[in-house]
Amino acid sequence: MGSKTIIELRNVHKTYQMGKVSVQAVRGVSLKVSKGEFIAIMGPSGSGKTTLLNMIGCLDVPTRGEILLKGVNINTLSRSELAEIRGKAIGFVFQSFNLIQTLSALENVQLPMIFQGVPKDVRVKRAKELLSRLGLEPRMHHKPAELSGGQQQRVAIARALANNPDVIIADEPTGNLDSKAGCEVMEVFKELNLQGTTIVLVTHEEHIARYASRIIQLKDGKIQSNAK
HEC per residue, the chain? CCCCEEEEEEEEEEEEEECCEEEEEEEEEEEEEECCCEEEEECCCCCCHHHHHHHHCCCCCCCEEEEEECCEEHHHCCHHHHHHHHHHHEEEEECCCCCCCCCCHHHHHHHHHHHCCCCHHHHHHHHHHHHHHCCCHHHCCCCHHHCCHHHHHHHHHHHHHCCCCCEEEEECCCCCCCHHHHHHHHHHHHHHHHCCCEEEEECCCHHHHCCCCEEEEEECCEEEEEEC
**Rounded distance, CA 205 to CA 186, Å?**
12
Kindly state the percentage of the chain with pLDDT values over 70.
98
What is the mean predicted confidence (pLDDT) over 195-200? 94
Residue 90 has pLDDT above 60, yes or no: yes
Architecture of domain 36-60+78-227: 3-Layer(aba) Sandwich (3.40)
Can you tell me the mean pLDDT for 41-60? 90
Query: What is the value of pTM for the model shown?
Result: 0.90
For the chain, the structural domain boundaries read: 36-60+78-227
Evaluate if residue 227 carries a pLDDT over 80.
Answer: no
For residues 6-16, give the mean pLDDT. 94
Residue 111's closest CA among 151, 159, 145? Answer: 159
Q: What percent of the chain has pLDDT over 90?
A: 73
Per-residue confidence (pLDDT) for residue 225, from 0 to 100: 84
What pLDDT does residue 2 have? 45
Q: Give the per-residue pLDDT at 3.
A: 53
Query: What is the mean predicted confidence (pLDDT) over 149-158?
Result: 94
- Averaged pLDDT for residues 158-183: 93
Residue that wins the pLDDT comparison between 86 and 11: 11
